[in-house]
Amino acid sequence: MSKKESEQVRFRTSIGGQALMEGILMRGPEKQAIVCRTENGIVEKVEELNLVKDKHPALGWPFVRGVVTLVDSLAKGMKALTYSASLLPEEEQEEPSKFDLWVEKKVGGEKAEKIIIGAAAFTGVLLALALFIALPTFLAGLIPGLDGHYTAKSAVEGLVKIAIFLVYLALVARMKEIKRLFSYHGAEHKTIFCYEKGLPLTVENVRPQSRFHPRCGTSFLLVVIILGLFVGLFIHADNVFLRMGLRLLTLPVVIALAYEINRWAGRHEDNIVSRIVTWPGKQLQHLTTNEPDDGMMECAIRAMELVIPEEKGKDAW
């Protein structure tokens, strides 16, 4: 194999991942694997995937699957992140909140864990809605002279969202724990690239791969924000609370469109339009991915190996 050939993506996989606390989650078409590095060595956890669309095929239709996939990914991702955090040394684990202790006392067991994870996910969604819908709409409403100028108002809201998003990422990227998390994120991307190029999954082959992948979840979020700006052009209302409500109502549409755009772009990476669409997201990954060490890449490789389907090509994107 020539060097030029080895640099080309030969196969685009649907396998995707998520960085965890000292580990990696990889999700394939049939199962997902969590691989974490602990004080006592590598810990592996493999689970069969029961997808909602398998029971209800309509939920896998284009422009429907985007919202379903996002909700499912958030739920599974939050559960995996909580699990990885529980593997950290006791001195590095966060003290349980009063709410966590109360739920554990009242319910206990696996049910308590589900309630705590659900509450954390719900709180996270509320915070995201407050930051990226309520706050930008409120701030735009404070600017005099924008009433009736819906294009300008939508543009201001969109710019505020982008500014909040970039500032938030820049701030969290400075945190020590998040720096390591973003390094695992880089290991995930590099491993997926290595697999897509048909190279043996070794640290030596993974290391030179790019950490900027076009199908990254961070890129998806940026597309959602940018699309929201254009969808906002059709919201002809000045009342702040009415605009917030309409933003919420159109959010599923924005998510559905963003998912289909990312899906198309991922399948046509050599297309000039696709390159333009994915370029901003790849630049954003300078903030959300770091270069991993060998141990991080080993975790990502093992997680990938555990979810590659036996039937070749079943994970085609």
**pLDDT tens digits, 51-110:** 777 788 888 888 889 899 888 888 889 999 999 998 988 777 777 777 777 777 777 777
CA atoms within 13 A on the CB side of 252: 9
Residue 24 pLDDT greater than 50, yes or no: yes
Compute φ and ψ for 27, nearest 5 degrees.
-120, 120
Six token digits for residue 31: 């199962």
Residue boundaries of the structural domains of the chain: 12-307
In this prediction the pTM is 0.88
Residue 2 pLDDT greater than 60, yes or no: no
Say how far apart CA 130 and CA 297 lie, in whole Å.
36
Lowest mean pLDDT among 75-79, 201-205, 283-287: 75-79
Residue 117 pLDDT greater than 90, yes or no: no
CA atoms within 13 A on the CB side of 58: 0
Contacts of 246 (CB under 8 A, 6+ apart): 235, 237
Band of residue 7 on the pLDDT scale cut at 50, 70, 90: low
Find, among 307, 316, 126, the residue nearest to 201 by Cα.
Answer: 307
pLDDT value of residue 1: 37
pLDDT digits (tens, 9 = 90+) for 133-151: 999 999 999 999 889 899 9
pLDDT value of residue 97: 76
What sections of the chain are H helices per DSSP? 3-6, 52-55, 65-86, 98-106, 109-129, 135-142, 150-172, 176-196, 203-206, 217-231, 240-267, 272-288, 294-307
- Residue 41: burial class (beta carbons within 10 Å; 0-12, 13-18, 19+): exposed
Lowest mean pLDDT among 33-37, 180-184, 216-220: 216-220
> Bigger pLDDT: 89 or 200?
200
Say how far apart CA 75 and CA 89 lie, in whole Å.
24
